[in-house]
């Protein structure tokens, strides 16, 4: 009996050891990672893409999942950037593994301590960051450190209707470059068609546009080097440059060469597609939507964001969003999310993203991909977007403002813009009020976060 018990014990030990070996080895996968007995690691990815970008992103995620057996990417739409950001702020423990955050969320994400710094993964794996467009990287850098990886990067541009330019006697290959030139073109383009008016110009009452005009004209948005040399403590939106921007905008509307279509960019986009306006300002990321709207009706032209009537050597700021890995997630989730990020940064994936969305090809080698070459042949005007990116100098102005209350600041500026175009306040008075309110918000934020 004693012998039988000893033999049973030995067999049990052997089985346990074999079981541990099998569990520990796992299954090798296509990228060298290991898949445990519990199956692939699921990476939950919150995003805010709609329309064509959402379709493109979904197709890319399906491609990733079909080519990776150890990681499965779960795409979850969370509404607008603001909606997604507010959900995370309300319940950070319920957040995703990978999170698409809009450009202006950077300061808060870092101050709130929500991120596993992307730079740690970059340094460990010796990821070649030089392959990413430097102006895009410099926007997201905090000191010499990247906390997130640029993803859907865009720049504002002037879209114009080449057919209406020809009909008005304007050269469609010489779009306006300054405020004065936009005004002259808008005057020539504005005309009555039956009982309706086709306006030369319109742009949404959107705070991002104001920020871009400020940078394009060489002006800081906040002090302390746009909040990059030290934490910002004061808004500079009521500078002479800010007043010039709103004065020009109000004049176009007052003289009848532009129309105010409100705050929704979708409304100006629809008006442009319906040829109710001949020029508009918007993101390079909406080119596919505008192209679809213009199909069979007119040819779209693209030009750099117009500047004021000075000759400032400046340019616009990067917009869009970046990818964040949340630090409160298990190590397995973080490592899997990093593999996803690296895959998105491959030239082939970046090219597919640009072709499907109009966002910038942020990997410099993406332009050598066949898909991108076909895209630029089909839409040669898009080259103006890339040229603007490469022609923008690197400085504190073009890196853009960095504050933790940018969402509130943008809304405050939009209120000021609306007051001006509706003749409820002068440009200077509206911006003075906005600057005061934004400054108070910045200082309150700094105090709450313990920032000195």
Q: Which residues are within 8 A (CB) of 107 and not within 5 positions of it... i.e. 6 or more apart?
A: 227, 402, 403, 404, 406
401's tokens:
């403002």
- Distance of alpha carbon 302 from alpha carbon 383, whole angstroms: 9
Q: Which residues pair with 36 in a beta bridge?
A: 39
pLDDT in tens, 69-88: 999 999 999 999 999 999 99
Q: How far is CA 91 from CA 42, 138, 212, in A?
A: 20, 30, 32
**Residue-wise burial string across 175-194, b where 16 or more C-beta atoms lie within 10 A, e elsewhere:** bbeebeebbebbbbbbeeee
pLDDT in tens, 217-267: 999 999 999 999 999 999 999 999 999 999 999 999 999 999 999 999 999
Instruction: Give me the domains of the chain, ranges plus CATH numbers.
Output: 38-154+319-380 (3.40.190.10), 156-316+394-449 (3.40.190.10)
Pick from 25-34, 194-203, 221-230: least confident: 25-34
**Residue 58 confidence (pLDDT):** 98
Q: Determine how many CB atoms are found less than 10 A away from the CB of residue 270.
A: 16
- Distance of alpha carbon 210 from alpha carbon 200, whole angstroms: 20
- Distance of alpha carbon 79 from alpha carbon 67, whole angstroms: 28
426 conformational bin, left if phi > 0, alpha if psi -120 to 50, beta if neither = beta
E-assigned strands of 316-398? 319-325
pLDDT in tens, 173-190: 999 999 999 999 999 999
Mean residue pLDDT across the chain: 91
pLDDT in tens, 320-360: 999 999 999 999 999 999 999 999 999 999 999 999 999 99
**Residue 5 confidence (pLDDT):** 39
Q: How confident is the model at residue 39 (pLDDT cuts 50, 70, 90)?
A: confident
pLDDT in tens, 118-149: 999 999 999 999 999 999 999 999 988 999 99
363's tokens:
């990997």
């Amino acid at each position: 009996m004693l012998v039988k018990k000893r033999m049973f014990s030995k067999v049990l030990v052997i089985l346990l050891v074999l079981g541990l070996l099998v569990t520990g080895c796992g299954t090798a996968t296509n990228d060298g990672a290991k898949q445990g007995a519990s199956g692939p690691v699921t990476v939950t990815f919150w995003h805010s893409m709609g329309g064509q970008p959402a379709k493109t992103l979904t197709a890319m995620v399906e491609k990733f999942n079909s080519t990776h057996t150890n990681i499965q990417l779960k795409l979850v739409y969370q509404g607008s950037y603001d909606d997604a950001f507010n959900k995370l702020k309300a319940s950070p423990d319920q957040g995703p593994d990978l999170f698409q955050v809009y450009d202006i969320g950077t300061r808060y994400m870092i101050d709130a301590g929500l991120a596993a710094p992307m730079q740690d993964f970059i340094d460990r794996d010796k990821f070649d960051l030089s392959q990413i467009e430097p102006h895009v990287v410099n926007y997201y850098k905090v000191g010499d450190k990247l906390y997130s990886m640029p993803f859907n990067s865009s720049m504002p541009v002037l879209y114009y209707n080449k057919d209406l330019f020809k009909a008005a006697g304007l050269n469609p290959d010489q779009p306006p470059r300054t405020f004065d030139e936009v005004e002259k073109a808008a005057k020539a383009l504005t005309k009555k068609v039956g009982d309706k008016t086709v306006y030369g110009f319109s742009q949404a009452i959107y705070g991002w546009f104001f920020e871009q005009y400020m940078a394009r004209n060489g002006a800081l948005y906040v002090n302390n080097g746009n909040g990059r040399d030290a934490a910002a403590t004061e808004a500079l939106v009521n500078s002479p440059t800010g007043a010039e921007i709103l004065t020009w905008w109000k004049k176009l509307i007052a003289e009848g060469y532009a129309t105010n279509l409100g705050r929704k960019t979708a409304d100006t986009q629809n008006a442009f597609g319906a040829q109710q306006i001949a020029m508009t300002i918007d993101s390079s990321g909406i080119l596919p939507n505008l192209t679809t709207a213009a199909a069979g009706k007119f040819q779209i032209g693209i030009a750099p964001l117009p500047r004021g009537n000075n000759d400032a050597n400046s340019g616009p700021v990067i917009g869009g969003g970046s990818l964040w890995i949340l630090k409160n997630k298990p190590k397995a989730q973080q490592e899997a999310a990093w593999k996803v990020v690296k895959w998105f940064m491959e030239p082939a994936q970046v090219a597919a993203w640009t072709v499907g969305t109009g966002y910038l090809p942020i990997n410099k080698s993406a332009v050598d991909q066949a898909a991108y070459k076909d895209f630029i042949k089909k839409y040669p005007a898009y080259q103006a977007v890339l040229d603007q990116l490469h022609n923008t100098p690197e400085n504190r102005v073009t890196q853009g403002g960095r504050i933790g209350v940018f969402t509130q600041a943008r809304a405050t500026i939009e209120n000021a813009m609306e007051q001006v175009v509706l003749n409820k306040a002068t440009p200077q008075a509206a911006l003075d009020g906005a600057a005061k309110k934004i400054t108070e918000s910045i200082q309150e934020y700094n105090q709450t976060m313990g920032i000195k």
